[in-house]
Chains A and B, each alone.
Chain A
Amino acid sequence: MNHCENPFLPDFSHIYVESGAFNFELTNQCISKYSNATIIEISDYKSFFNRPNQDFQTQKISTKLILALKKQPFIYKGTDILQDGGYKNFYYNTPILNCLYNCSYCFLQGMYPSANIVVFVNEDDMKNEVLGAIHKRSYKDEPLMLSVSYNTDLLAFENILPLTKNWISFAKKNKDLHLEIRTKSALYSSIKNIKSSDQILLAWTLSPDNVIESYELNTPPLSRRIDAIKSAMNDGWKVRICFDPILTYDNWKADYISFFNKIKSEINFEQVFDITVGVFRMGQDYFKNIRKSKPDSDLFYQSYKNENGIVSIDSKKKNSIFKLVSDNFSNYLPQNKIHYWI
């Protein structure tokens, strides 16, 4: 055997399709895109996705794709851990479960028993539910804000399936619907030909390059994310910048100060819609699940506080993070445009 040869199967070498999910547009697109993939029919995606004893990180070596039908609930009310960015009618949905990236701090590895990616192909069912939620929303004078990229990075998937485009086009037809599309992707090019809309908030998560290298596996480097942001802002899109999570480690402050300086020198903050700031945090059950799988990342072997079932850094560290952000950006954005996850 040639020792340089990659011994592992490529991602999506196998596509598992629920019996009821054949003949949907997204299914056909996937199958034709991965024409060499082995297609395996399954009765219910959970029989594959929820198998016992799976190893998330081993599956990340060669991730498989699952095409399934989403059953109710199609949308969810925002949680305490998810930032609402000031929106009162805040919801999220899950067009995809899991992510192409493999960030060490990501809660998905504790939330799901599998790293394989589930795409729900019955978009219309999800959209109908969103229409109902818009109608029933509590604060009628405000739009419904839907985070479509909560349990995934939707834009990173855009070269595979045009889900971001589809959701943007849906939102444009419903003026009371706003979308937050949170991403680390540099794939803005894939939606560049769409006319910008005030209803859409493109939210880029940014981190220093050393954090990206150590903790955000498979994600684009900072420079490419900044280029994507600049292009999007030039094209008139509303852009949110997320420093989430800001991680603390030896000399973290120096790294983040130079990172903030780089961002301030490259991005015109007059065009930035807002900033959200968060720290490492995770539901205790997810944290325990991840610890049990003995991940390689040092993040899970440090000292944290558990308050009301949420594992996070202590408040002293939190405050020093928030102060650093405030010191660095208060001259660039009004305080009410900087949202902190407390």
Chain B
Amino acid sequence: MNFLILTALKSEAKPIISYFDLNKDPKTHIYSNKKIFLLITGVGEKNVINKLKSLELKESSWSKTVILNIGIAGGNQLDTKIGNIYLVNSIFDQQSEREYFPDFIIKTSLEEMPMTTVSQPLIDNDCSLRGLVDMEGGSIVKTMSPLVPPHRLIFLKIISDHFKSSDLKEISVASLIEAQIKNIHGLIKKLEHPKLSDRLILNHVEKKKIKEITTKYNLTKTQEYELLEMAESHKKIFNNLTKLESHFTVKPKNKKERNKLFESLRESIPS
């Protein structure tokens, strides 16, 4: 499993970069080691969406990636304690009025809390919102939920303030994150469970092979899709692609021959 950590602020990222020994790629601005990647998105919807859209990950990489938004948040003082870490169990995006819910599959000891994403800071405003308040959650959901399932899109927030500027004067963002780094690491270890990855039938090499056949035989989009399905069925039944590959030894001279070949494939391999 890979982990893509998103933080809004550099100061939130610093303790994570240091703890996991992440190195910056000057081209992409992504910090990483072998399994953990970190991107600083900036604050607010516009920054988040721009940064996330620039992310270039191969499609297959998302199948085993957990996205973790880690950062500070304001909290209602009836519900939260400054310095505590919370796992977000619902996000209400005030601007779009949409709700988002992550899926909780793995046991953790972290306390859960609902969160509201707002577009303007609430500091020193008379805030009656319960639970947590942040400025990025809703945008992260909007951009990333098409890419990963809800059990791999997780929000971890550490309370920096009870919506008062006086609270913020007394804290150091980096120290708040640093104090919770063991909890963060604990959750990452739990999320490494293989059952949380997408189920894949074809491995990287087999997918490459199918792609090669598609190009070599100049298959149509529909045929390509059908071939992929056939390959999956074939792999499930025979645990390899040998029989399927045996159909692709002679290159057809024209479309008619290609279609004939495909027809014979359909008859011999279920899809």
Contacts and interface: CB of A to CB of B under 8 A. Distances in A.
A62 B151 CA distance: 11
Interface string A41-63: 01100011001111101110110
Nearest to A302: B270
Nearest to A14: B104
B195 A58 contact: yes
A303 B150 contact: no
Contacts, number: 86
A54 B229 contact: no
Nearest to B230: A301
Interface string B97-125: 01111011111000010100000000000
A294 B236 CA distance: 10
Interface string B69-93: 0000000000000000000011000
Interface residues of A, number: 34
Interface stretch (B196-204, B215-223, B244-252): B196-204
B101 A53 contact: no
B58 interface: no
B103 A52 contact: no
Interface in B226-241: 229, 232-233, 236-237
B99 A47 contact: yes
Contacts of A59: 103, 105, 151
A40 B106 CA distance: 17
A51 B233 contact: no
Interface in A7-59: 7-9, 13-14, 16, 38, 40, 42-43, 47-48, 51-55, 57-59
A327 interface: no
Contact of B101 (A16, A55, A301, A304): A16
Contact of A301 (B150, B195, B236): B236
A293 interface: yes
A302 B237 CA distance: 8
A7 B149 contact: no
A296 B194 CA distance: 14
B104 A9 contact: yes
A218 to B, nearest CB: 16
Nearest to B151: A58
B199 A38 contact: no
Given A16-B101, A302-B233, A58 B114 contact: no
Contacts of A47: 98-99, 101
B90 to A, nearest CB: 6
B148 interface: yes
Contacts of A291: 229
Contact of A38 (B89, B103, B148): B89
Most buried by B among A7, A13, A62, A293: A7
A116 to B, nearest CB: 9
A55 B103 CA distance: 10
Contacts of A301: 232-233, 236-237, 270
A293 B149 CA distance: 12
Given A61-B195, A294-B200, A51 B104 contact: no
A236 interface: no
A43 to B, nearest CB: 6
Given A7-B193, A302-B233, A303-B270, A55 B107 contact: no
Contact of B114 (A9, A40, A296, A302): A40
A62 B201 contact: no
Nearest to B201: A294
A295 interface: yes
B3 to A, nearest CB: 17
B190 interface: yes
B107 A294 contact: no
Nearest to B196: A58
Contacts of A61: 105, 195
Contacts of B229: 291
A298 B237 contact: yes
B26 interface: no
A290 B138 CA distance: 29
A55 B152 CA distance: 10
B107 A8 contact: yes
A171 B145 CA distance: 45
Nearest to A16: B101
B104 A13 contact: yes
A294 B104 contact: no
B130 to A, nearest CB: 11
Nearest to B202: A294
Contacts of A14: 89, 104
The 5 residue pairs across chains A and B that have the minimum distance between CB atoms: A303-B270, A301-B236, A301-B233, A294-B199, A55-B149
Interface of A: 6-9, 13-14, 16, 38, 40, 42-43, 47-48, 51-55, 57-59, 61-62, 64, 291, 293-296, 298, 301-304
17 contacts: A6-B107, A7-B107, A7-B190, A38-B89, A40-B114, A42-B99, A42-B101, A47-B101, A51-B101, A53-B149, A55-B149, A58-B103, A59-B105, A64-B104, A291-B229, A301-B237, A302-B270
Given A14-B89, A294-B232, 19 more contacts: A6-B107, A9-B105, A16-B101, A40-B89, A40-B90, A43-B99, A47-B99, A51-B101, A53-B145, A53-B146, A55-B151, A61-B105, A294-B199, A294-B200, A301-B236, A301-B270, A302-B233, A303-B270, A304-B270
